[in-house]
Amino acid sequence: MTSATLHSDTTRQQADAWRRQTSLRRFYTALCVGLLLVAMCATMWFADEANAGHFFDRLPHILDFLSWLIPKDCNDVWRALFDIASPNDKGTQEFNFPLGRVYIWGGFYIPEYFELMLTTVNVALVSTFIGFVFAVPFSFIAARNLTPSPILRLVVKRFMELLRAFPEIVIAGLFAATVSIGPVAAIIAIGLHSIGALGKLFYEINENIDMRPEEGLRAVGANWFERVRFADLPQVLPNFMSYTLLRIEINVRISTIMGAVGGGGIGEELKLSISRGFGAKTLALVLLLFTTIFLVDQFSAWLRRKLVGEQAFLMSA
């Protein structure tokens, strides 16, 4: 046997092995995609069966549903937004715009929807603040490289996990029954959730810091608080801020949903307005909510880019 045939033999073997490998790989890929498709069809059928109205029965009526949404008089959207009396007002709740005015000083008023939007945004801001204030110390305790005690670290980590996974509406419901139905219960619920969510992100940042400044401070006899304050905090604060801003974006959305289940704010009004089919009011609310969320997102993205640069938008795999 010559070396040339030997060589071609190995090549053929390699090629065969490669072909076998790829065909196996293709088989697995096809299997996964197939399973996913089956699961998708099964879940679609399940969701449709369990729903009050079925997809194909309701599909032809989608446009009817849109018909109430488009107001007969487009100016009513602006009137609803700014609480200006509408000529279409026939004493029903659909066009009673001026009733919602919140008078501040004499004839000067804040339109109702702006006030509600302000409530929702304030709920988000205050609860993010609560989350930040507790998450920062927790994150130092929960970080492997900074923790003062491993047992304490485990306790804090589990506690934060629990806060993160606990359904917010249950906390909100519990505090609605003890404190009051309204924004304060929503603040507590979202705040507690934010502690868990921010705490996790924060301690992961803490675990990736450069430890040399910390060692330097340890060498000169600094205690735990001083080490954390002067070695760790300056490194992580921009990242903390960036994640907190991201949390504000998320919390604005959650506090809107909380509103719809009794937490006050714009969510409640939106739910009422859609369920009663008030076209102009719904459009005004959606417009306001959309603009606010868009602006909050854009502002936060701008600020985050200033704080940590493009790192804020990099994706981890």
Partner 1 sequence: MAATMTVDQVKAIEDRHPQIFQRPAYKRFWPLLLIAGTVLYLAYALWFFSLPQVLRESHWERLPLFLSQWISYDLQPEFRLDQPEITPKYPRFSALGENPNPDWVIKNPDGTYTVQIDGDAKSVTFDKTRASITANGVTVPIALTGGKPVVTGPVPDWMTVHDDEIVAKMGFAGEVRVTVDRVKVRKRFLGWANFVFDTRSPFFGKSAGEVFSLIVSGPELKPGTSNLALAADNIWNNAQWQHGDVWTKLLQTIVMAFLGTLLGGIVAFPLAFFAARNITPSGILSQVLKRFFDFMRSVDMLIWALFFTRAFGPGPLAGSAAIFFTEIGTLGKTYSEALENIDDKPREGVLSTGANGLLVQRYGVLPEVVPIFISQTLYQWESNTRGATIIGAVGAGGIGLKLWEAMRTNSNWANVFYMVLLTLLVVFIFDNISNFLRRRLSRTLHDYNRLQAERS
Contact between 267 and partner 1 (CB under 8 A)? yes
Site for partner 1 in 114-133 (CB under 8 A): 118-119, 122, 125-126, 129
Strands (E), the chain: 102-105, 108-110
Q: Which residues are CB-neighbours of 192 under 8 A, at least 6 positions away?
A: 130, 163, 166, 171
Indicate which single residue of 110, 184, 222, 307 sits in contact with partner 1 (rule: CB under 8 A).
184
- Name the residue among 238, 226, 237 with its Cα closest to residue 303: 238
Phi, psi of 105 (to 5 degrees): -150, 105
Q: Say which amino acid occupies 278.
A: F
Residue 114, token pair as written in the block = 């702006």
Residue 214, token pair as written in the block = 């910390």
| CA separation for the pair 308, 286 (Å, rounded) | 32
Indicate which single residue of 178, 212, 219, 221 sits in contact with partner 1 (rule: CB under 8 A).
178
Give min distance, CB of 6 to partner 1, in A: 28
Indicate which single residue of 46, 225, 299, 302 sits in contact with partner 1 (rule: CB under 8 A).
46
Q: Say which amino acid occupies 269.
A: E
Indicate which single residue of 293, 303, 307, 308 sits in contact with partner 1 (rule: CB under 8 A).
293
Give min distance, CB of 4 to partner 1, in A: 29
Indicate which single residue of 110, 260, 307, 308 sits in contact with partner 1 (rule: CB under 8 A).
260
Indicate which single residue of 81, 228, 270, 283 sits in contact with partner 1 (rule: CB under 8 A).
270
Please choose, out of 13-21, 39-47, 141-149, 198-206, the segment that lies near partner 1 by the rule CB under 8 A. 39-47
Which residue, 126 or 209, has its beta carbon nearer to partner 1?
A: 126
Contact between 48 and partner 1 (CB under 8 A)? yes
CB 220 within 8 A of CB 151: no
The C-alpha angle 291, 84, 111, rounded to 5 degrees, equals 50
Contact between 302 and partner 1 (CB under 8 A)? no
Indicate which single residue of 24, 36, 104, 155 sits in contact with partner 1 (rule: CB under 8 A).
36
Indicate which single residue of 25, 177, 223, 311 sits in contact with partner 1 (rule: CB under 8 A).
177
Indicate which single residue of 100, 183, 196, 199 sits in contact with partner 1 (rule: CB under 8 A).
183
Site for partner 1 in 191-250 (CB under 8 A): none
Helix (H) and strand (E) counts for the chain? Answer: 13, 2
**Helix, strand and coil in the chain, % to nearest 5:** 80, 0, 20
CB 183 within 8 A of CB 264: yes
| CA separation for the pair 284, 74 (Å, rounded) | 10
Residues at the interface with partner 1 (CB under 8 A): 36, 39-40, 43-44, 46-48, 50-55, 58, 61-62, 65, 118-119, 122, 125-126, 129, 162, 165-170, 173-174, 176-180, 182-184, 187, 253-254, 256-258, 260-261, 267, 270-271, 274-275, 286, 289-290, 293-294, 297, 313-317
